[in-house]
A and B are shown apart, each in its own frame.
Chain A
Amino acid sequence: MTDVHTPHRPAPPNALLGRWLLVVAAFSLLLLAACSGDEDNGTATSTATEVGATETATGTATGTATGTATATGTAAPAGQYSLAPGGSPTPAATEAAAGGDAQQMSLQANIGSEAPQDLVDEWNIDIDPDGTGLWDAQGSVSAGADVFQANCARCHGPDGAGTDLAPQLVLGPDMEPGPWQFGAPRTVANYWPYLTTYIDYIHRAMPFDNPGSLSEEDVYSVVAWILNQNGMIDDNATLDPDSIMQMNELPNYPSFFPCYPDECRPEPALRGNDQ
């Protein structure tokens, strides 16, 4: 026996009161709307200037290629076309853009600017497992020791063992690099699959409070020192794109398996409602 009950809903006794209050609330809203007027005008167009200029420049360039004559200049006022995906456009919308729906109209409107190559070069910082993004430089374990003590030790500890401010980077002396074992701490020596990812991350995000402050050479050096402390490279080893790619698949690399596109979950034993 349990005290499980079927849900039931008696009509609330104050339904009428509630409805009346709603009416009052609606009245007040009307009043408020009438009072607030159009104070908001005047700020809407303030942010377009700089980008707007480049937009015009590229707009004409690409406009000939993609834009139809009808789409530019005579923007359909909001409300004259349907935003519902697949919804059939009103006659006004059809007139404004031969293409039809709002999405087509926007695509013909030349929104945005051509990406300047120097912006792409500056922002395209990711280093991929095929080596794309690695820069030409050389780092050494000995130089890395200095870089680490100067820039990393205060959070990760002088030996990279971690503190309560930042995670452990170096396995303990009694642990060997190798595939991750259940319960072990996780470092570059036993968990990270790719060295390129490790370099990418330190380059993009460390030192935590001043990311991007290390030179490209210093990044390779500090990584070399961390690998050395983890027992992965010799004291006199150097890191450059070649040596990085030679050891790019790290000891735990074989342990990862993807659950996309073939989903691993829910695990068969957890399927169904049979508990």
Chain B
Amino acid sequence: MTTATSSSPSAPTASIAVCLKWTAARDDAGADPDDDRFAGVSAADRAALEVALRLGERWGVPVTALAAGPAGAERTLRDAIAAGADRAVRLDMDADADSRDVAFELAQATAPTGGPCADLVLCGDYSLDRGSGSVPAFIAHHRSAAQALGLVSVDTDGPAADGVVRAVRRLDGGRRELLEVPVPGVLSVEGSVASLRRAPLRRALASRTAPIEVIRTPPAHHRGAPAIVTPYRPRARVMAAPAGDDVLARLRRLTDAGAAPARGETVELAPADAARRIVEALRDWGYLADHDR
């Protein structure tokens, strides 16, 4: 997999954005939507904020915290300001807005042409609720930026002039992948990457009244495919009964239990070829029907 392509180093980073997903943890019917007592952000989002602040300090560039959500999300943004973010922007959206809408709006808000431009966008790799980690991928797609998702460490000591961020991603089987992510880029980090600093007392007090910019977004309008409202389930396939003399043997065959994995190969290809090869393999194994083409 080569999601992070190393193109030529770009101009020094001008600003950093960190996206925080505010989640109301208690969803009793009739609960006040602005009641944020049991709400908050994931450890991964807090780690993203800390990485953003460290890079911002290291590179001498401002950090903007963004949250897409209702007014209740503003406490999270104030906490980000208390910890050191320079600006806070709330994209006024429903708490349960579709991930693709959220990503589209965040991409707009961080794009050079749109509001508070950001060259580097940081996210947590899961939120407190759904936690599929898809928002950063969609942001990168909309921004045509490099992406590196689910990072287990980010080097926050590299100079800004490099135009890349060095990071480590977890692979299967305990392996690690060292990445050089070019800027503009989108990174998502796991919660263990960094622990968020304690906000200094005076900043914490001042943050309670700090201004928060609010961007009104149009109502749900995500582009492209219709919204996915159910969890993904692979399509059922008709299969011949497995051969075997007794139930246990047939069950073993059916589940591959005890057998060496037959599938899987390691290939080294350019990104476009790799993607094509993966789609081919999925189709061969029966996971993609022809109309998924």
Q: Do A and B come from one complex?
A: no
Binding site for B on A (CB under 8 A): none
Binding site for A on B (CB under 8 A): none
